[in-house]
Amino acid sequence: MSSTENAGDASDAPRTTDAPHTAGPTGTAVPAPAPAPTAPALGPAPGAGSAPAPGAVVNGGISFWYAREGLPAPREPLPGDASADVVIVGGGYTGLWTAYYLKKAAPFLRITVLERKFCGYGASGRNGGWLYNGIAGRDRYARLHGHEAAVRLQGAMNDTVAEVVRVAAEEGIDADVHQGGVLEVACTPAQLARLRAFHETELSYGEKDREFHGARETAERVRVADAVGSSWTPHGARLHPAKLVTGLAAAVEALGVTVHESTPVTGIRPKHAVTPYGTVRAPYVLRCTEGFTASLKGQRRTWLPMNSSMIATEPLTAEQWESVGWEGRETLGDMAHAYMYAQRTADGRIALGGRGRPYRFGSRTDDDGRTQAATVGALREVLLRRFPQLAGVGVAHAWSGVLGVPRDWCATVALDRSTGLGWAGGYVGSGVATANLAARTLRDLVQRDSGQSGATDLTALPWVDHKVRKWEPEPLRWLGVHGMYATYRAADRREATTHAAQSSRIARVADRVAGR
């Protein structure tokens, strides 16, 4: 999630009150040269229940995912002016997948990737590890292009989950992938009503293998407190985000792609990617910067950098896991307006995310993911609300990062054939899988434009070349985003206390502010 980073980060775009969500929580969800994070530690998270977690919380240090694996060995920055057939700005999932598929399709292409920090510094190395089939904007695309077009888009996303798993295995990337599907639970009557509507809508988009469960069947999968129902899809997997992105970067280099790190791109124009160390000239310049797009010249209001935060617990004991269940290792979300997303990690922890401080004035982004103490406490409260049996479990790590949010909440992929400039992003937190579909689509768009191939099923999908209006100037952006999330939280509190069977009316106010 650097200015040259892409991918869906953790995310938790707000759910709408009258329609199923289409952009889900892939978590952040943001260089320290040491193998483990070196950010200052916090004490026990405040407001975290009657039994505070023992020990300190490692705060920031990019993300928990690098704490055990260490940071990748640095690659050389751009040494000076250079030329290529394709230059890709951003060393996250979108940029690396695009380089991978282009090089596989046309090995003769000279492809250069430019990354401001290191590959996986941003959302690709900080997200919640949700590889799932959600895509931001599907319902809007159905309204604009027809239901069948949106069904094709959803089918492509279903296939994308399997594609990522396939390539990871083929390239020998051990990313702790477990295909347990995605389980989304409802814990109040209003959430249950939204869940039923969501489930029925997913079926209407062709997802016939989705299952709806009542309270008892839900508890047999995972024992979430107060859960009254759930919807499960097999089109999802848990993974280790940093292992995937570092493995992908190595695979790309092995194919012959040139990757330069510590190389911030300060300007993009037709056939030019400008850096402090030189300019790379190429017929195609592809912007794959997602949540950090606002830091590029002329892009301040293109995609809003939405902040998402996560915590990872200490490893649970066998007895604690017995109390929780979760043997299927599904990725787990809920139907709150300001919802949470979680996974059971390969080393026996719970990694859980949600919205903390949603947006920083002027589209600013942090450096290494340090998270406010109040957000750490709030996320631990969510953990204990969903799993009160884990009151004695400590929080080991907290971090944050940004994801890209377009004004109409629609992910897009595009290539301007008159200039050779392309881009993909605006995933609204669904980027772990969507970045792969975007990359294969960029490959097809470049090959079509260069005469190497014709139109394909991917280039005909409704999100291709979608135009989005810019975000409002400050302070309207800041006021709107913070007001929106304050309203969603208020709606969740009201639904939890009134036990009404309908979504809170005040959430509809936030929907209008959000433009959803």
Query: Helix, strand, or coil here: 483?
Result: helix
d(C-alpha 405, C-alpha 431), whole Å: 11
Task: Tell me the pLDDT of the chain (516 aa) as tens digits.
Answer: 333 333 333 333 333 333 333 334 433 333 333 333 333 333 333 333 333 344 689 999 999 999 988 999 999 999 999 999 999 999 999 999 999 999 999 999 999 999 999 999 999 999 999 999 999 999 999 999 999 999 999 999 999 999 999 999 999 999 999 999 999 999 999 999 999 999 999 999 999 999 999 999 999 999 999 999 999 999 999 999 999 999 999 999 999 999 999 999 999 999 999 999 999 999 999 999 997 777 778 777 677 887 889 999 999 999 999 999 999 999 999 998 777 999 999 999 999 998 666 656 555 666 688 888 989 999 999 999 999 999 999 999 999 998 888 889 899 999 999 999 999 999 998 999 999 999 999 999 999 999 999 999 999 999 999 998 886 777 866 677 666 667 767 766 776 777 776 676 666 666 666 666
CA angle 85/87/91 to nearest 5° reads: 145
Long-range contacts of residues 38-46, Cβ cutoff 8 Å, at least 24 apart: 39/368, 39/369, 39/370, 40/370, 42/373, 42/376, 42/398, 44/394, 44/395, 45/311, 45/373, 45/376, 45/377, 45/379, 45/380, 45/395, 45/398, 46/373, 46/374, 46/376, 46/377
Both tokens assigned to 313: 């617990």
Torsion angle of alpha carbons 87, 89, 95, 100, nearest 10°? 20
Q: Is the pTM of this model over 0.75?
A: yes
What are the angstrom distances between the C-alpha of 384 and each of 39, 47, 226, 227, 303?
A: 26, 11, 12, 14, 33
Token pair in block for residue 223: 């024992």
Q: With CA atoms as reference, report the closest residue to 343 among 378, 310, 377, 318.
A: 310
Question: In this structure, are residues 7 and 122 in contact, taking their beta carbons and an 8 Å threshold?
Answer: yes
Tokens 């099923």 belong to residue: 457
Amino acid at 145: H
Q: How far apart are CA 271 and CA 273, in angstroms?
A: 7
What is the phi/psi pair of residue 352, to 5°?
-135, 140
**How many CA atoms, within 13 angstroms, populate the side-chain half-sphere of residue 186?**
28
C-alpha pair distances (Å), 181 with each of 75, 225, 386, 441: 35, 20, 19, 25
Find all residues with CB under 8 Å of 419, minimum gap 6, and list them: 270
Residues 6+ apart with CB under 8 A from 261: 74, 75, 76, 77, 91, 115, 117, 118, 119
| Cis before 475? omega within 30 | yes
Is residue 10 within 8 Å of residue 375, measured between CB atoms? no
Yes or no: say if 477 and 304 are a contact pair by the CB < 8 Å rule: yes
- List b or e across 364-403, with b for residues whose CB sees 16 or more CB atoms inside 10 angstroms: ebbebbbbebebbbbbbebbbbbbeebeebbbbbbbbbbb
CA 157 to chain centre: 14
Separation between Cα atoms, residue 492 and residue 161, nearest integer Å: 31
Q: How far apart are CA 386 and CA 337, in angstroms?
A: 15
Helix residue ranges, H only, 147-281: 147-170, 189-204, 215-221, 241-254
Q: Which two tokens stand for residue 97?
A: 């997948």
**DSSP bridge partners of 280:** 82, 273
